[in-house]
A and B are shown apart, each in its own frame.
Chain A
Amino acid sequence: MKNRLKVLRAERDWSQGDLAERLEVSRQSVNAIETGKYDPSLPLAFRIADLFGLPIEEIFLKD
């Protein structure tokens, strides 16, 4: 699944570590999600959406 996480993070000038800290996950997780190697669970996707103040479908896109 594609996502706009890297763009949204860059807009806020956050590093992967900053985002990981805000989401309470490892930097590895953020990197895996950004690069499309791992699709987050629904609860984590909602946490990401809440953090950016956007609906899930504006962050995660169908292939």
Chain B
Amino acid sequence: MAQNPAQRRYMRRMILLSAAYIAAVVLASWLIPDDAAATPLTVTIALVPALATSGFIWAMASYVAELKDEYVRMLEIRKMLVATGFTLALASGWGILELFTTVPRVQLFYVFPVWCLGLAVGSLVNKVTIGDGGPCL
């Protein structure tokens, strides 16, 4: 399926942000020693990759806002709603397990990747309920 201009812009932004994210993670790993104390310097360096992840969220929000096709926009928003519900359910369920049992502790860092996985679940929900999974990005 041909990509519309909003999809093309989204892909371009995500590729640039992914490159920035990888570079920032590599740089932070190189500059910050293992088990470093949380000083203003280490926190600042460690937060640089977080800027890129915030950029991912901005790119997704811009993509939805720039979509001209209202039906495709609806499919994307449904995917994001399912992803949000999926992430909240999983995070609170696991959080309660951590509270009452000795299951392994999961780092908050994983919330965003889980939400992205939730997008795939959202696409599946769209496919099952509407018969259309929406654009594959």
Contacts and interface: CB of A to CB of B under 8 A. Distances in A.
B15 interface: no
Contact of B72 (A28, A37, A44): A28
B9 interface: no
Interface in A4-60: 24-26, 28-29, 32-33, 35, 37-38, 40-41, 44
A29 B71 CA distance: 6
B66 interface: no
Interface residues of B, number: 11
A35 B130 CA distance: 10
Nearest to B67: A26
A28 B68 contact: no
B74 interface: yes
Contacts of B68: 24-25
A22 B70 CA distance: 15
Interface of B: 1, 4, 68-72, 74, 130-132
26 contacts: A24-B68, A25-B68, A25-B71, A26-B69, A26-B71, A26-B72, A28-B1, A28-B69, A28-B71, A28-B72, A28-B132, A29-B69, A29-B70, A29-B71, A29-B72, A32-B130, A32-B132, A33-B71, A35-B131, A37-B130, A37-B132, A38-B71, A38-B74, A40-B71, A41-B70, A44-B70
